[in-house]
Chains A and B, each alone.
Chain A
Amino acid sequence: MTADSKTQGPVLRLDGITKRFGALVANDAISVSLAPGEVIALLGENGAGKTTLMNILFGHYTADEGTVEVFGQTLPQGNPRAALAAGVGMVHQHFTLADNLSVLENVVLGTQPLWGARLDMAGARAKLVGLAQEFGLAVNPDARLGSLSVGERQRVEILKALYRDARILILDEPTAVLTPQQADALFAALRKMVAQGLSIIFISHKLHEVMAIASRVVVLRHGKMVGEVAIADTDPRALAEMMVGSAITPPELRAATPGPALLELREVMTQDRGTVRGLRGVDLALRAGTITGLAGVSGNGQAALADLIAGLERPSGGEMRVAGAAPANWSVAQALGAGIARIPEDRHKTGTIADFTLTENAILERYRDAPFARRGWLDWRAARDFAQSVIRAYDVRCPGPETRIRLLSGGNMQKLILGRVMEVSPQIILANQPVRGLDIGAITFVQNQLLAARDRGAAVLLISEDLDEILTLSDQIHVMSEGRLSPAFARGTMSAADLGRWMAGEGFERGRDAA
């Protein structure tokens, strides 16, 4: 703490916060304080309790024990209005914005008396434009939110908090959706705010960002506060160990032995589907025995590429070759038949059916084939045996194959999906955000499975928003921007900042000429 803050006292004090969800203790007697003009980072793995703690501070949840004090006043529990009025602003990871409203309407929402006779839009517009200029967060107040990019939406989300005169800003994983350069711009804006006396809590699991922006770090693990250190007194390695609870062993990488291209795209186009951007002439070759990493800001065509390879989408132009042949009537059934293992981006919404049992989920992609079905009749015994074998081989922690899958943790759910697709020794693996939201144990497990598949000769496409993950695992890297694909960059030739420039759309024309 600085000498200054000692005289003024903390702007925020969380004292002994405990929150239980059933048997799970999400927060266990956590105490944190924040000085004026200070940036602290809240560091922890997925599920460590960071978001729960901030939801208690903001009044979305009530704590079972403990108090929240803002500017010396105790906040009433479970009352977001009180938190807002006290000057707490939250930038949610999943933006709390309505697509059918304009930017200005989104910002004004909830700021004027609900029973007011008429919205004051003119005054609101002036204030919003002023704030946007002051902090370098340019937005068009009249743009419909649905038409904005992810980066622009985040600016609106931040402006919303500033518009309400927030003195304490909580940012929940704000850089997950940004390029490195956009993240730098965000940090610049945050520094301006700090200079004006705002205090910031920065929630993240990315160590280098924490080191760059925060002056102090609070580390959570399994709901407990396991450390509080000044940035000056620590380094990324020590933080990582504190966060995970043990020394981190990076995945063991053997040299890749590239084989023939198992899947090739030449000048492939696909149509836009609502908010999903289509592909604009993509060249890609997935070679046996390699992992191809795909970096990019979400919403730039990764979904279209994933859908294409998964069999959900057909090329509207260009050529697609799977195992050397151009498939006619490309479909999910064909993709499965061609030995493509598909790990979907959202395991809850597309990967599994929540109220189906593990058995029913295990056969989801192959329920029509022997031994699970014969002439339209299901063989539940064969299905159960298969589920059992996956549960054993992939260490899925569950009461048994007849459990509804909604009761499993994200990691165990992902292991079941992994087992379902890997049991048939696939030649091509589409891994779309395979470790998002998992804890370190599950992350290591999934990544080792992908590397093992590579080493036995499979071609892996790894789509991720986490550049560190891409840089660590990939033998070659592509970047997507606005439906276009960069040339392939070999391992070790690009830095995160280099990739960031491509993610922002730079270099595509030059890359095309060179290729």
Chain B
Amino acid sequence: MRLEVIARPSLWRMIGFPAIALALTVVFGSALALLAGANPFQTLGLILRGAAGSQFALLETLNRATPLIFTGLAVAVAFRAKLWNIGAEAQLYAGALMAVLLGTGALGWSPALLLPAMAGAAMLAGALVLLGPALLKTRLGVDEVVTTLLFNFIMLLFISMLLEGPLKDPMGMGWPQSSRLIPDARLPRIVDGLRLHWGFGLALIAAVLVWVIQSRTTLGYEMRAVGQNRQAAEFAGIPVGRVILKTALLSGGLAALAGFSEVAGLRGNLTLDLSPGFGYTGIIVAMLALLNPIGVVISAIFVAGVFVGADSMSRAAGVPTYIANIMLATALLTMVLAIALTRFRVRWD
């Protein structure tokens, strides 16, 4: 068997294969529901209803999508330049940490100053967390996949140390959690009375900005060139090392905003379960969006919907919530294959 490049793929291929991938994911999910002794149609219906069946459900989905948009953008930006940032989880916690450090009373500024300062500090911290692995990559050629992965564990232990030490909430009854943010450090809701905070708005703005950077600026052009063909980029005089570092700063900063927005918009304090793997899920989000920043928004909402829906379905139908993770991982793998099949034809000779 070998693969043959298709010069101009037909519309049928472009739509058909991704559609088959999604269908396969749904079929697989149904099979899992059946395995768990539930009615597949009912299970899928419950997931759908739990994700978008009511205003409450929908807003819950958008809230859950917010950190995923940020981590999805972080991954999309980095992967576009072939910088394999698998450390969005660590960068997220770095951002959350800065939000807590500045937002629990250390700065008595007005919200108009305090919130941008928190966001800025978060981005800086996230950027610095990724700068280490990026420097190791450009200077010493150390593979960043493993270093960013390992940093996730180090960061979580570091946060744990702080939460049981200097950052421990005196009112927390012994739980490892930080003090709560002061009211001025909280992101307001977009519409009064509706449970959706401005972190979501910020995420949409970030997506548009990333899209503009990628398609309209020389930096975006450099990032894409480095990602597509490093050797040609070097030959053309593109400063490859510097572009990778800039990419790392942007990617780390975006992932850190997820932590800032979760702390300042939703939770109000920092705990060790702030992120149920938003950093890793960001990879699924970005890949399903084909690394397109606007697509990231849509795929993040889809992925969040699956999680929120599965949570509510699990309570009703008793199918373990891990069905959501399985379906999303399946969607990732089938979609990558489907995208390849829109570009290549399989020949059996």
Contact = CB atoms under 8 A, between A and B. Distances in A.
Contacts of A61: 349
Contact of B235 (A310, A331, A360): A310
Contact of B229 (A311, A335, A349, A377): A349
A353 B349 contact: no
B232 A352 contact: yes
Nearest to A21: B4
B143 interface: no
Contact of B234 (A78, A312, A352, A367): A312
Interface string B199-235: 0000000000000000011110110110011011111
Contacts of A32: none
B191 interface: no
B194 interface: no
A237 interface: no
A285 interface: no
Contacts of A353: 225, 228-229, 232-233
B326 to A, nearest CB: 32
Contact of A373 (B7, B218, B234): B218
A350 B235 contact: yes
A336 B235 CA distance: 11
B138 to A, nearest CB: 16
B5 interface: yes
Contacts of A78: 349
A378 B217 contact: yes
A406 interface: yes
A348 to B, nearest CB: 9
B5 A377 contact: no
A356 B5 contact: no
Interface residues of A, number: 35
A378 B221 contact: yes
Interface string B88-112: 0000000000000000000000000
A332 interface: yes
Nearest to A23: B7
A368 B225 contact: no
Contact of B237 (A336, A355, A377, A406): A336
Given A78-B349, A406-B5, A351 B235 contact: yes
Contacts of B11: none
Contacts of A356: 224-225, 228
Nearest to B6: A22
Contacts of A350: 231-232, 235
A364 B5 contact: no
B346 interface: no
Contact of A376 (B219, B232, B236): B219
Report the contact-size class of chain B (Cβ under 8 Å from the partner): 20 to 34
A386 B235 CA distance: 20
A406 B229 CA distance: 12
The B contact surface, by secondary structure, is: helix
Given A22-B4, A336-B237, A367 B232 contact: no
A77 B234 CA distance: 43
A165 B101 CA distance: 75
Given A349-B229, A354-B228, A368 B236 contact: no
B232 A368 contact: no
A365 B236 contact: yes
Nearest to A342: B235
Contacts of A351: 232, 235
Contacts of A352: 229, 232
A351 B224 CA distance: 16
A428 to B, nearest CB: 16
A62 interface: yes
A344 interface: yes
A229 interface: no
A333 B232 CA distance: 14
A349 B221 contact: no
Q: Is the interface of A mostly helix, strand, loop or mixed?
A: loop
Contacts of B216: 377-378
Given A61-B349, A406-B5, A354 B221 contact: no
Given A62-B349, A312-B235, A364-B232, A407 B7 contact: yes
B294 to A, nearest CB: 18
A367 B235 contact: no
A96 to B, nearest CB: 17
Nearest to A337: B237
Contacts of B5: 406
A333 B237 contact: yes
A367 B233 contact: no
Given A61-B349, A406-B5, A407-B7, A349 B231 contact: yes
A317 to B, nearest CB: 24
A332 B224 CA distance: 19
Contacts of A312: 234-235
A311 B225 contact: no
Contacts of B234: 312, 332
Interface in A324-351: 331-333, 335-336, 342, 344, 349-351
B218 A368 contact: yes
Contacts of A376: 217-219
Interface in B224-263: 224-225, 228-229, 231-237
A71 B249 CA distance: 66
Interface string A41-69: 00000000000000000000110000000
A10 to B, nearest CB: 26
Contacts of A367: 218, 221-222
Contacts of B233: 353
Which residue of A21, A350, A352 has the most chain B CB atoms within 10 A of its CB atom?
A350
Interface string A308-320: 0011100000000
B339 to A, nearest CB: 13
B236 A364 contact: yes
Given A62-B349, A356-B225, A378 B218 contact: yes
Nearest to B349: A62
B4 to A, nearest CB: 7
Contacts of A21: 4
Interface in B82-141: none
B343 to A, nearest CB: 10
Nearest to A64: B349
Interface string B57-69: 0000000000000
The listed residue with most A CB atoms (<10 A of its CB), out of B221, B224, B235, is B235
Contacts of A332: 234-237
A376 B212 CA distance: 12
Interface string A357-383: 000100011011000010011100000
A364 B229 CA distance: 12
Contacts of A311: 237
A355 B232 CA distance: 12
Contacts of B221: 360, 367, 378
A344 B231 CA distance: 11
B235 A344 contact: yes
Contacts of A354: 228-229
A356 B220 CA distance: 13
Contacts of B219: 376
Nearest to A361: B232
Q: Nearest 6 CB-CB pairs, A to B?
A: A332-B237, A62-B349, A364-B236, A353-B229, A350-B235, A353-B228
10 contacts: A22-B4, A310-B235, A332-B237, A349-B231, A350-B232, A360-B225, A368-B218, A376-B218, A377-B217, A406-B5
Given A356-B225, A364-B225, A368-B218, 6 more contacts: A21-B4, A22-B4, A78-B349, A350-B235, A354-B229, A376-B217
Interface of B: 4-5, 7, 216-219, 221-222, 224-225, 228-229, 231-237, 349
